[in-house]
Structures are given as C-alpha cells and as structure tokens.
Structure 1
Amino acid sequence: MRNMLLGLALLSTTALAAEPGAVGGKPAIPSAQALPEAKAANFQYQVAIVEPRAVKPDAKTVAKLKVPVGFAVEMWAEGLGNARLLAVTDDGTVYLTRRAEGDVVMLRDTDGDGKADLRKVVAQRPGMHGIALDGRKVYLAAMSEILTAPILADGSFGPLKPLTDTLPDTGQHNTRTVRLGPDGQLYITVGSTCNECVESSPESATLLRMSPDGKSRIIYASGLRDTIGYDWNPKTGALWGMDHGIDMLGDDQQPEELNKIGFGKNYGWPYIYGFGGQNPQDDPPNDLTMADLDAAATRPVLGYTGHAAPMQMLFYRGVAFPKAYQGDAFVTFRGSWNRSKPSGYEVARIHFDAAGEAVAFEPFLTGFLQENRDGPSQSGRPVGLAVARDGSLLFTDDINGVIYRVRYTGADAAGTVLAGPAVRAPEDEPRPVGPALALARPETRATMRLTVTSPAFGAGQAIPPRNSDYQDGVSPALSWSGAPAGTASYVLLLEDPDSQHGHPFIHWVAWNIPTGTTALPEALPGERQLAEPKGMRQGRTTRGSTGYYGPKPPVGDPPHHYHVQLFALSEMLDLPVGADRERVLAAMTGKVLARGELVGTYAQGALPPKK
C-alpha cells in the first residue's frame, strides 16, 4: 500500500498574500471554490496519495461484497488479465476489451452453469478499449483509431477496417470509448492529455460525434476532462455521462461529475469545475475572467465523492431486476489514489425520476474496499459494465482479471424489457431562418459597403492548401477598408454554402474586432478571446471547435465556395465566449453599418500523404 501525505501550495505571481490562506486580505476558501481575486491564488492543500493494499479475490472476498436484499454476486469468469469494457450481443455472447493485452475476448456460458466456459481472442490492436455493437457489426476504439468489423456466425470478428486513425494524441488519459447513439451516429470520448492544462488539440477533453462510415465528425460537447462512461436515458433519449474530476485539489475537490451532456455545451474544464469551482492553477487567457468562463460552462447535475474514478455507465433496461431499477443507471467506480480516505471501489446506482432527471446516487455493490488495522485494502477495481441476456449485471475488475455477475433472486423481477430511446435524427446547430448566407439574412442589412481582400487569394480564386484543414489549417491574412464613421467593432463570418449539411458549414465566427483594426494577420490562434486584436472573441464552428477551421470539403467534390463576410457594427456585442453564429446574428440586428465579402474556392482531389 502506498500512503503519502503531501503539502501542496499553489501560488500566483500576480499577487501574494502576507500569509497562506489569504489573498488581498480576503480568506481563501479551502475547497478552492472561488478565487479571492482574478488571476491570484494562494491556496495550500493537504494532498494524499493512498493506494490500498491489493488482496487477491477468492471466496472469502466475494463473501464480503454487499448488495441490496434479494441480490447475489458471484464470479462469472476469472484469469482475464486487464479486463476493461464489456458489450453483450442479443444472443448472449459477451465481448471484453483488454487494454494491456491489446485485444478483444469473446466469452460464452455454453453449459448454462453460470460461468463462462468458452473464451477466444477475436481482435487485436494496441490500446484496445472502447466497444459498441450494432447488430452483426462491432465498432472498436483504440488510442488513435476507430475500427469496425463484421461479427461472423461463430461470434468471431472479420477483418478490422479502420474508420479513422486521426484521433488526437494521447497523454494522461489514453482510453477511448465508443458508443452508438439513438441517432445512428458514433459517440467517442477523448480524454484530456493532462490533469489540468490548455490543450493543443480542440478535440481533446471532448465527446466527439462521428458518422458510422468515418467520413465526418464534430465536437459534440467540450470541457470534459475524461468521460469514459455515458449512455442515453431510455425514456427521454437524453445523454448522461460521468466525468473524472481534477486531481491534486485536496480530498474532496473536485467531485466526480454526473453531467447531462448536450449538443454544443461546454462543461468548464480546465478552468471551471464542479458546481462553480475555479481552478487556481490555470489563469484565463487574454483578459478573460473566471466569470466569463463560468457563464459559458454548464453545471453538473449531481456530484459524487472526489477521486472515486467513474468508469463505464449504463441505464438498466433488463428483465431480471425489479421494475424500480428500470430506467435507473449503474456506474462503476475504479477507486481513488489521491484521497486520504479512499473512495470508489464500488458499483453505484443513479436514481432517475419520472421525468428522466437524475436525483441521487446510492450504493449498489460495496465491499471491495476494506478497513484494516494496518490500513485499507482492496480486492477489486470495478471498470466495465453490461447487462447479460438474462438481465443480470456483469462488471469487470481490471486488476485481477475477473468478471462478476450480479443476479436477482427475488420474485418481483420486471419480466419485460424497457424499450430503448427513440430513434431520432442527429442533432445539429441551429438552422438559419430564411436565406442561407449571413449576407442574405435580414439581421445583416446595410447600405454601405466594405472592401475585403487577402494576399493569399483573390476574389473567386482558389484558397491555398496551407489554409485548408487538409494541411496546416492556418487562417489567411485579411484586410479591409471603407468603414463608415461610427464604426465601433467588426464581426467576421466564414461560411461554406456548398456543404452537404443543407445549410452553411460555419468555418469562423468572430466578433468584437476592435474599431481601428483594418487587417488580421495569418495564423490567428484559436482561443475564445485573443490578445491581438485585443478583445476579439471567437465562437463555435460547425465542427464544434473555436476559431478558424480551414476548408475541408469531401475528397473529389467540385470546388466549394467560402464566403468571408465582414460587418461593421455601431457597437460592441455583449455575448458569452464561444457563442455560435445564430447568437451573433441575433445580436447584430439593427447595428450593421456596412458589410463586405470576399469569396474563395477550395477542392481536394485526393487525400494528402500522412504527416
């Protein structure tokens, strides 16, 4: 067992207090929920590193596991190594991913004795982790890849076909999870590369949505440090997920988060955590404030004990548990290392009310964690979750290579399956009202004209490949003239009306470009607010990222037209960071003094070679 207690002080260079625990004469909150001054911190924590002593599971440890009255728990399979995530087919075949071994194992109980007696490796890939089933097709997630394969008649997999190998580089959180949504799209979680930092890839610390053929993907939600477990409420269709909180903030900060994950939402990481906590380690960039970032962040619905490490999550729809369990969710907690009193090492139940909203956690299976005279011990670290064909609950222990089975022995089993979430079309950004391009919208009417030019391309000419997302993806330099008297700011929109979305693909949203600015240099950063031009804010593109997103039409398409549209406004816009195009257009109404346009084209004949 590792057991260390560290004193950690976080100090800013912008302000130092006379004594620890205060900044500017104001007391610091021990939980780090709020900074006493902007860009100032002087917090001290007692940070523990406690890893309970590992005990090999056996009949005695199983007997110590506690479940509600009427339930029983037993080992279903042993000797499986790094047993991670689970998926079960309609015929009862169980598939297990193993990250350390880099494979997928097929398991079956062929003789019906309650134990897996058939096991076979059916796929291999380094870093194998996520798995999702769609009838006789499987989707798999490795570190940088999403793959698919047919499920053959004997349950083995056919050849693996890569759908993408361009997921962001891994770091601290290198497990990728994939699920198939009720809209037929793949949902992929990409954890952060660090405990808390500003990521270099906009796709890190996000939930991605990808088409099943791998040809398109967007950032569905962001600011999620590491959401391994997520599922759709069968009654409402809403997506819920458990996010791992930041470490090294003390025993109880931050709580693990249960989030209701919505399209286009940001959940705060790395700046805002929990229920409005402000991370003292990272200062907001370029004169943004914590209040700015908090206003743009979505709060979790529930919090759970800090550092418990949530893993796979699922809603229960099976036949074998009492009906009261249907529509509730289960989540595994692998267990803490960064808390003086260990947390997790359990399976919890999440209660949902009749309206489909989460209301409370409660213990479901405990007993892996034991307190002893010589310190804590643990006999299992739960990770994977699945409902077996008979309605029992399966979960994995990834340290000891065990799959456990929880079954109900009472007489009041539900008896019928709860239907899954309704099939629906994929969610999309707000559809424009009326004509497609911003210039054709009534919100942008103006009589005066701006002249917009670029040294990179002329009107109607091809945009250089370096400005496309197929290559460097840097924004082109732009300049303009003709601003009328009274101009207080500019808005910039870059749109592709030739996209297959049925409405413009938005490649750039920027506002509050200060008056007096007549040019933008090449390769502007993608931050939500820039240092230069000072105060310029950037919003959400159709891709889901912030800042410029270069042309990326499908390979072989005729040239797409990219409309750089610039608007001179009579005032600055009061909009939150990360606002989308529709919010910007609404805020512009009645404020546009002049406008101008530069149109370039781009086509990609073939995929460029890999870098």
Structure 2
Amino acid sequence: MKYIPSLLIAFGATSLLATQTSAFDHAHKNPQESQSVRIVGHVLKPEPIASKHLLKKLAVPKGFEVNVFAKNLINPRMIAVADNGVVYVTRREVGDVIRLVDANNDGVAEQQDVVANRPGMHGIAIAGDKVFLATVNDVYSTGLDADGKFGPLIRIVDDLPDGGQHPNRTLAVGPDGKLYVSVGSTCNACDETNPESATLLQMNIDGTGRKIFASGLRNTIGFDFEPGTGEIFGMDHGIDWLGDNEQYEELNHLVKGKQYGWPYIYGDGKFNPQDEPPGDITLQEWAARSVDPLGFYTPHAAPMQMTFYTGTQFPAEYYGDAFIAMRGSWNRKPPAGYEVVRIQFAGGKPVKFEPFMQGFLSRKGERWVHHGRISGLAQAKDGALLVADDTNGIIYRIAYTGTKKRTEPLGPPTNSFNVDVRITNADSPPPDDVHTQNLAMHLLNGAGVTLDISSPAFQAGAPIPPLFALEGENISPPLVWSKGPEGTKSYAIIMEDPDVAQNPPFVHWLLFNLPADVVSLPQGIPPLPELAKPDGALQGKNDRGSIGYIGPNPPTQDSAHHYYFQIFALDKKLNLPVGTTREELLAAMQGHVLANGFIIGTYDR
C-alpha cells in the first residue's frame, strides 16, 4: 500500500501554517487492497487564557451550581475520596499526593497538605483504609491513619512497562477485591515489544498474580465498575494522525481475555493504514478477534478520569450513569473536548452521551482559546462531583441545589457538528455473553424505571460467599431494593445463571407476590411453596425441579459463572399457583412491569 500522509499544521492561534507531505511504499499482505491514502491532520493548540470570571462562563444543567473546592494546587491530576470524605489528588509534575479537607462541610477545602512523594505520581485508588498509588513503572500501597495521613509507601510492583508516549498510569480496586492497572501504549500506533503495554492489568492487592485482563487498548486512562453489575467500562484514546475526524474516542465494555483492536483495527472494524498485524495474521483476522466499541465520542477529545455516580445528591435519574473528563485536543481543527461528559446507562448498559459541564473553550475571532484543561474527576462523599483543572490548579465542585439560578446553556459535544457521536449497540447483550439476552429482564417489556438492588452479603460483581452455594448451606442471600414507583402492587424476584452450557439460563429461584411494602429479604428464605413471611409470597420451581432457592453450583472445569438476581415491580398480584414454572411466571408478568433492577454475583468451584 502506498501511504501518503499530508499534515496541515497550525500552531496555537497564530497564522503560521506549514504543510508536510511524505510518501513511502508499504508492502501489503493483500495486494488487491493496495491504495493511496491521503490523511489531513492539524496541530492546533488553543491558547491558554486566564479568566477572572470563569465560574460564570461554566455551563451545567439546570439546578446544578459550580464552586471552587480548592485552588493553588499547581497541577492536580487524578482524584480519590476516602470513606470519611477527605479528598486526595495526585500532582504528576510535582510528584506528590495532597490531602484536601473540608472540615465544616461547606463545599470548600480549608486544609491542604502533602501526604506522599514519588516522582511522576499519577494514579490513585482508595479501598477502605488501603491506598494504592501508581507512577510510570511502580505501584505502591499504604494505609490511611486515623487523621487521614498516609503510612509508609510499600512498593508492590516495580516493573510496569516503560511509559513512552503514554506514561500516565491509573488504577482501581474492583468489587472482586482485585487491583486493576491501566498501562497505555508507548507509541501512537506500533508493534509493542512488551505484551503488557496497551493493556488493562489485573493483580492481587499485594501485587502478586499479575495478568493481562484486556489488551489492544491504546490509552484507557478512565475506567470504572458499573455499580449494578460490577462490569468494567472504559474510554480509550483514539489513534492520532488518521485525520481530524478519525479516530473517535471509544467507549468499551472491558471483558477478561478480550482484545480491542489497537493498533491495527479502530472504530467499528476499520483498518489502520499505518500498520499491519505481525506474522501471517491478516487485518481481517485481527478484526475478527477484536471487540468493537459500544460508543464513539468526538475524535481527539482526550478522555481522562471516569466515575460511575452512586450518590443521592443528584436527581435519581443520574444514579448509575458515568461521568468522564474530556481534557481537550491539541491536534484537531476545530478543537474537541474541554468538557465533562455524562454517559447515561440503563440496565447496566450505555445508552447516550451528553455534555454535563462546558465553558473551558471559546473562540475569539479566528483564535481558539481555552480557560483550563480538565483531568481528574471523582464523586465527593456528599454526592457532589469534583473536577480537576490542572492548568489553573483548581478543583471545581458541581453540586445539585435545585435552584433556578441562571446558567450558561449547554450545547452538543464540543465541535461535533461534522462527526457522529453515538452509542452503537446499547440494546445488544454484552459482547462476551450472548446468553444474557435470554434473561428474564430482557424478555419482559418494562417501563424503563430502574430499581436499585443490593445484598449485604456480597458486592455487585463480586463472588457470592460459599454459605449461599449448593455445596455450602444452600440458603438464599439477603437482598435489599429501592421502593417501586407509584402503582406498585407486588414484587417478583428471579435468579438466573446465563453461563450454563445447555439451554441457558438456568433458573435458581422464582419468588413472586411479595407485598408492595416489602423492600428487603433476610437470608435463608425457607423452600416452601407459600411463605408466612413475607405474608402471601409464593415460590416457583427452579430448574432442578424443586421449590424455592437453589444455590450456585457451576462445573469445576468452568470459569466463574454469573448469577443475576433480578427484581421486578409489578402493577398487580399474580394469580398463579404454587410451583409455577419460569415460562408461566414470565407470561403472567408480561405487560405489568413498572420497574426492574438487578445485581450480579459470581461463583466458581
């Protein structure tokens, strides 16, 4: 293939232009596909301009307000919040972690001090009283003292791949208790020599047991765990120099053992003309091995830290949605990003991108200028959203007050008028498991209202304790759910395993006609057709042929199975006999579902 890139370079907001054209012959494995490729790109760095009135320019949805939580921070990057509400932020250029304390809970940090030092400090995660920190090559762990200070840093990993073009490591502790570390590629698009480059790594919290969880990820700085399922979603930086409108920033569902295309495949199966797979692997074969993204955002917007919202301060429709900081482009005309984006989720899957905070980018005549570049993003203990601006050394706080105070109007994604920002397969089952399409929640037509469901016995996406397995005590776990909408007359619970080899899903539990005023179940519901507590509740047959609950019992040779506890709010009590089958129950529920939700637990033997 002959590849002829043509780069139009514009520096800042000046009128200086330069054009560079080069050509080289590329021996292609499929000669019939040889073609000339001309790519036009721009280096356009909006000029930084300080603004005394930036707060007034920032646009957020109605009912929300923005204030400065902390300032004079030099270059705040990634943010983490401890259980007691103390905020910690890394500063890569300074090489430290600072502690921010809002002692009087007025939304402004009165105290800031340094609690750790290491050159290139960037990633931070907190799980209980444990803290994890990442530099380019190292991962450290430490403990939190009672006053919020860090204990001694213990290096648990000292050999992460070199950084190259993407040295900004990020990390998080999953609901499974494992530590996940994002390692970006060393280059724009190349054949990596270290297999751990351009991956998401998984390891034990002491640094042992390290393995590649997902690969083909150019630079997934922002990733988090969906609160209902524990599944991992992340935004990956697209390849540069494919054009102003290529490559899109990609939203991926990150699944163990899957690869995501980079560096040879991008978007929805497009071939990268700059590179080819190693050996005899063709581009078509590499594409077949790769998982397509779930969503596409404006190219070069530069996604940074990402978090799912689990607070109660924002309106209820925000619960379970993701927020991500888009740092902003340096190589697109017109510029993209410079905004916070909300990714709406429903039933554990993404459905829509929409801007949530704008105002950092503006145009003065022919000049593009920016008033800050954002990086970190986290949920405060009170449910507000914290956003780090590492250009101005500020952390902003976005809170919902419900006031009708005038704000600047939000627009579409920044300069997206000539691109297609979209979620592609929001209605499709997860790419790793087509069997989930047969789960009860996908077969019943609901009203689109989500119920929150949890268990005191296990976290979403985490292992179910052996007590509740068939090989243990075989008792049902405790469950808690939010109250159904107006008109709810009863609840039904269906537990299913979609990972069985034959005729999925396997039904573990059918429980229905739970009274509308019941929003929790204790552990150990007896295997009786009709229950005295909750009064009037009935149980159907599981796929073993018995009444009531049957615990997880996957084959020993299988990897962990996923067990979906699904809750349904119904507008009626069901006139069904005891010992009802799944098919009979679903038929009676169809058309009567007001709301639903689910939680996933895993189990292996």
TM-score normalised to the size of structure 1? Answer: 0.64
Q: Is the 8 A contact 1:385 1:395 kept in 2?
A: yes
- Contact conserved, 1:84 with 1:129, CA < 8 A, in 2? yes
After superposition, the Cα gap between the structure-2 partners of 1:119 and 1:185, relative to the gap in structure 1 and judged at 3 Å, is same
Change (3 A) 1:330 1:418: farther
Aligned counterparts of 2:336 and 2:154: Cα–Cα separation in 1: 40
Describe how 1:533-548 pairs up with structure 2 within 5 A.
none
Work out which of the residue numbers 386, 391, 399 in structure 2 matches 1:407.
399
C-alpha distance in 2 between matches for 1:6 and 1:352: 43
Q: Which residue of 358, 371, 374 maps to 1:379?
A: 371
> What does residue range 132-281 of structure 1 map to in structure 2 within 5 Å?
132-281=125-274
Provide Cα deviations, 1:360-406, integer angstroms capped at 9, x if missing partner. Answer: 10010011000111411111111101111111100101111110000
Map 1:53-452; keep pairs closer than 5 Å. Answer: 53-58=47-52, 60-353=53-346, 355-410=347-402, 422-425=460-463
Gaps of 5+ in 1: 16-34, 427-501, 506-611
1:95-136 deviation digits (Å, cap 9, x = unpaired) = 000100111000011233321110010001111111111111
Letter in 2 for 1:42: S
The 8 Å contact of residues 7 and 44 in structure 1, kept in 2 or not, is answered as no
Deviations 1:317-348 (A, max 9, x none): 11110000001100000000110100000000
Distance 2:153 2:204 in 1: 17
2:237–2:249 contact (8 Å) kept in structure 1: yes
SS in 2 for 1:2: coil
Query: 1:408 is aligned with what amino acid?
Result: Y
Deviations 1:520-566 (A, max 9, x none): xxxxxxxxxxxxxxxxxxxxxxxxxxxxxxxxxxxxxxxxxxxxxxx
Counterpart residue type for residue 172 of structure 1: Q
**Residues 10 and 276 of structure 1: CA distance in aligned 2, closer, same or farther (over 3 Å):** farther
Give 1:504 shift.
12
Equivalent residue for 2:26?
13
One-letter code aligned to 1:344? G
May I ask how many residue pairs the two structures share in their alignment? 407
Three-state SS of the structure 1 residue aligned to 2:281 is: coil
- Separation in 2 of the partners of 1:503 and 1:218? 20
- Give RMSD over aligned pairs: 2.5
Shift of 1:8: 4.9
Residues 313 and 332 of structure 1 are in contact (CA less than 8 Å); yes or no, is this contact kept in structure 2? yes
> Counterpart of 2:344 in structure 1: which amino acid?
H
Paired letter, 1:14: A
2:44 aligned residue: 50
SS of the equivalent of 2:286 reads helix
Shift of 1:57: 4.1
Q: Determine the C-alpha separation between the residues in 2 that align with 1:290 and 1:398.
A: 39
C-alpha separation between the residues in 2 aligned to 1:363 and 1:69?
A: 13
List alignment gaps of at least 5 residues for structure 2.
1-10, 405-450, 465-555, 560-605
How far the C-alpha of 1:76 sits from its partner, in A, is 1.1
Matched residues in 2 for 1:103 and 1:62: separation?
A: 27
Select between 105-114 and 166-175 the one with higher mean Cα deviation: 105-114
Identify if the C-alpha distance between structure 1 residues 370 and 89 changes in structure 2 by more than 3 Å, giving closer, same or farther. Answer: same
* Residue 73 of structure 1: how far off its partner (Å): 1.0
**How much has 1:7 moved relative to structure 2?**
5.0
1:40 aligns with 2:34: yes
Instruction: Give distance in 1, aligned partners of 2:27 and 2:208.
Output: 47
Q: Which moved more, 1:395-404 or 1:112-121?
A: 112-121
Q: C-alpha displacement at 1:42, in angstroms?
A: 2.0
Q: Quick one: distance in 2 between partners of 1:8 and 1:328?
A: 44
- Scaled by the length of structure 2, the TM-score of the pair is 0.64
Counterpart of 1:2 in structure 2 is 12
| CA offset digits 1:448-496 (Å, max 9, x no partner) | xxxxxxxxxxxxxxxxxxxxxxxxxxxxxxxxxxxxxxxxxxxxxxxxx
Per-residue CA deviation, residues 139-177 of structure 1 (Å, 9 max, x unaligned), is 111111110111111111010001110111110000111
Give 1:425 deviation, angstroms.
3.6
Paired residue type of 1:384:
G
Contact 2:99–2:112 under 8 Å retained in 1: yes
Rounded Cα–Cα distance in structure 2 between residues aligned with 1:129 and 1:308: 20
* Identity percentage of aligned residues: 49
Which whole-Å CA distance do the structure 2 matches of 1:259 and 1:87 have between them?
23
- Paired with 2:461 and 2:38, the residues of 1 have a C-alpha distance of 50
User: Counterpart of 1:330 in structure 2: which amino acid?
Assistant: F
Per the alignment, in what secondary structure is the counterpart of residue 173 of structure 1? coil
